[in-house]
């Protein structure tokens, strides 16, 4: 069980008691953390900002459920990613690229993480990476975000998106393939 630090406990207590100044401090403390999650899912910056606001509302309403077990930042990031997924579902942006029951036999060699070349790190900024992710089809982008950035496994992704695990593997494979193609063409990287 993680020990919660005094400032975080102060923020949680103030927010659950409805103290506006503490809620404001909480907002400014965690805004950039939640925006980093939201911007990876949202189609526009304006949507990302709105979704962060919605994420804060959900966090404020559920702060009493945080049990001080595990990372608080991980807990709020998980809430934020769920808010993003809810918005995507509501806007019907998650169209199936293939039938969700398609069986895909994942080649283990393709699914293993490949080391990232230093050349890529040297030439791409975080903004470039976000632009690359925006080029992916919606479901591929979501699976890539959940797997790579949020640390979900394929079983968890399948549950969240109501697809099969094989479909999750396939979407990740397609996302990696598309990103590799984009990088190879646009930047002459040899991956």
Query: pLDDT, tens digit, for every residue of 13-68?
Result: 999 999 999 999 999 999 999 999 999 999 889 999 999 999 999 999 999 888 88
Check whether residue 84 and residue 139 sit in a common domain: no
Rounded CA gap, 26 and 11, in Å? 6
On whether the CB atoms of residues 9 and 15 are closer than 8 A, the answer is no
CA separation (Å) from 115 to 1, 35, 66, 101, 112?
Answer: 33, 27, 36, 31, 9
Average pLDDT, rounded, for the chain: 80
CA 131 to centroid of chain Cα atoms? 15
| Number of structural domains in the chain | 2
Confidence of residue 150 (pLDDT cuts 50, 70, 90): confident
Mark which of 40, 63, 90 sits at the end of a domain. Answer: 90
Please report whether residue 114 resides in a domain: yes
Q: Which of 90, 120, 145 is the last residue of a domain?
A: 90
Q: Domain ends where: 62, 90, 118?
A: 90
Tell me, yes or no, whether 180 lies in a domain: yes
Of the pLDDT bands very low, low, confident and very high (cuts 50, 70, 90), residue 97 is: very low
Q: Based on the domain organization, do 149 and 75 belong to the same domain?
A: no
What tokens appear for 135 in the block?
């080029």
Domain of 77: which CATH number? 1.10.1740.10
More confident of the two residues 50 and 111: 50
DSSP labels for 22-35? HHHHHHHHHHHHHH
Are 114 and 181 found together in one domain?
Answer: yes
Domain region containing 53: 6-90
Helices of type H across 4-151: 6-16, 20-41, 45-62, 72-90, 108-111, 118-123, 126-134, 138-144
Which long-range CB contacts under 8 A does 57-61 form with residues at least 24 apart?
58/83, 59/30, 60/15, 60/23
The yes-or-no verdict on residue 169 having pLDDT over 60 is yes
Instruction: Look at residue 173 and tell me if it is in a domain.
Output: yes
Model confidence, pTM = 0.66
């Amino acid at each position: 069980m993680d020990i919660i630090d005094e400032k975080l406990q102060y923020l949680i207590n103030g927010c659950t008691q409805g103290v506006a100044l503490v809620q404001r401090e909480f907002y400014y403390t965690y805004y950039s953390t939640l925006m980093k999650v939201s911007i990876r899912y949202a189609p526009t910056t304006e949507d990302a900002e709105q979704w962060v606001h919605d994420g804060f509302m959900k966090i404020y309403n559920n702060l009493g459920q945080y049990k001080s077990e595990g990372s608080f930042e991980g807990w709020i990031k998980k809430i934020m990613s769920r808010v993003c997924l809810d918005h995507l579902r509501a806007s019907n942006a998650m169209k199936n690229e293939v039938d969700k029951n398609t069986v895909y036999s994942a080649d283990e060699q393709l699914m293993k993480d490949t080391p990232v070349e230093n050349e890529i790190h040297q030439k791409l900024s975080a903004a470039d990476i976000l632009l690359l992710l925006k080029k992916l089809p919606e479901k591929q982008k979501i699976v890539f975000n959940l797997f790579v950035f949020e640390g979900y496994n394929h079983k968890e992704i399948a549950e969240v998106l109501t697809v099969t695990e094989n479909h999750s593997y396939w979407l990740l494979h397609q996302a990696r393939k598309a990103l590799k193609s984009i990088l190879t063409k646009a930047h002459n990287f040899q991956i």
